[in-house]
Amino acid sequence: MTLLIIVACILFLVLLITWGKTNAFLAFLIVSLLAGWLLGIPLDRLAVAVEKGMGDTLGSLTGVIIMGAMLGKLVAESGAAQRIASSLMKIFGVKYIQWALMITGFVIGIPLFYSVGFVLMVPLIFSVAYQYKLPAVYIGLPMLASLSVTHGYLPPHPAPAALVTQFNANMGLTLLYGLFVAIPAIIVAGPIYSKTLKNIVSVPLETFKPVILSEENLPGLTNSFLSSLLPVVLLIGTTALPFIFPDSILGQQLAAFFGNAMVVMLIALIVATFSLGISTGMGIRKIMLVYESAVKDVAMILLIIAGAGCFKEVLTVSGVSEDIANALHQWPINPLLLAWIISAIIRVCIGSATVAGLTTAGIIAPMVLQEGVNPNLMVLAIGAGSLMFSHVNDGGFWLFKEYFNLSIKDTLRSWSLMETIVAIVGLAGVMLLSVFV
């Protein structure tokens, strides 16, 4: 009955948005309240759950998305995006630009949380798309596949790192095995699958459309790269601090503070204000107008993601994830495959890869000890399953849809199927590795 309620609510959500033409944020609020009531959440707790879901989601993403949009807009307006795009095209050429973006996404995706990597790298995708008149989805999906895989599979990302601890796995081995699993998944879901998406028409947000400037008015290549990717450099540096000063409390405190995504984005934005703004002749008033314009463009994105957070919280509070996992616990199949299935089903129903992964771990943990399953592979199996078929209850789905300005149909065809391919190829890689390790 619980599954029927979830399916019915998701279908109702889709109908409200597509057939009813309802604003996605309002649709999420309506469906969240309806789902909570049907799932038996007491009315006095239901509104609180919705508010908590909105607050928790926006609390972690608002600063990152807004400042990421500001940085992206400045990168576009200053000509830095044009300089970066031109350099990439000269090095790799139009034929191999997907591979260049894919490799970039993989490298920065290891230290960066997904949402941070997304808002940092999407302007680069749009710049290439606008400047060279290439389909945005076709060239962008490989990079986003890289970011998604690193987020779901590989420590030190939060969910995989937590799973390593729960299963007493080895983080180094998990990362090593994860690279063998991740690379094929990214290639299949990225450059190979995206070949089928060339006909998807995407008109990205105007805020990231670069101003075409003459060569002499462009900022330098080094300045453009460093200013655009400074958040990546800062996060990599702060990640290394605890290893450089393992016994230093001050080092740990500095790493915690400067490793915070919002702090990193603020520092990067301040630096870019001078390096890409003032130093290139832009007045501070013009720079602030650029930032205001960027905020207007992402306001609705924030609300839609908040709505997805409400729905996710209602489903979590209702105990749906535990019910699903317990119902599947007795299935007589390979524990790695069972873990992947449980994680995938929770992901489809809940929308959160992190919730799906951690909930599955609580159910599967005893089996790892009882049946002698390789704990490193179990982390990867659950991580792969947690990426399965992102759809309307996932904030990442709406982030992709709204930034790329796509219909729900095209978002399902591109983003959702890319995530599905990543999950399935990841499972295949885990099962193959289990034969040898």
Cα gap 92→230, rounded to integer Å = 23
Q: Does any domain span residue 213?
A: no
Domain hosting residue 176, numbered range: 2-200+219-436
What's the one-letter identity of residue 336? L
Report the pLDDT value the prediction gives residue 263, as an integer from 0 to 100. 87
This prediction's pTM? 0.76
The count of structural domains within the chain is 1
In a domain, 56, yes or no: yes
Structural domain includes residue 214: no
* Residue 210: per-residue pLDDT: 58
Q: Is 201 left (phi over 0), alpha (psi -120 to 50) or beta?
A: beta
206 part of a folded domain: no
379 located within any domain: yes
pLDDT at 78: 86
Give domain status of residue 19, yes or no. yes
pLDDT given at position 197: 95
Inside any domain, residue 144: yes
Q: How far is CA 92 from the centre of its chain?
A: 26
Q: With respect to residue 98, please indicate whether it lies within any of the assigned structural domains.
A: yes
Q: What is the pLDDT of residue 322?
A: 67
What averages of pLDDT result for each successive group of 10 residues across the chain (437 residues)? 82 82 88 92 92 84 84 84 76 87 84 76 83 89 94 83 85 88 96 95 72 76 86 72 72 77 88 92 92 84 83 83 64 88 88 83 74 89 96 89 92 97 98 94
Distance of CA 193 to the CA centre of its chain: 19
Q: CA-CA distance, 44 to 412, in Å (whole number)?
A: 35
Q: Mention every residue, 6+ apart, whose C-beta is less than 8 A from residue 397.
A: 308, 351, 390, 391, 411, 415, 416
CA distance 39 to 27: 18
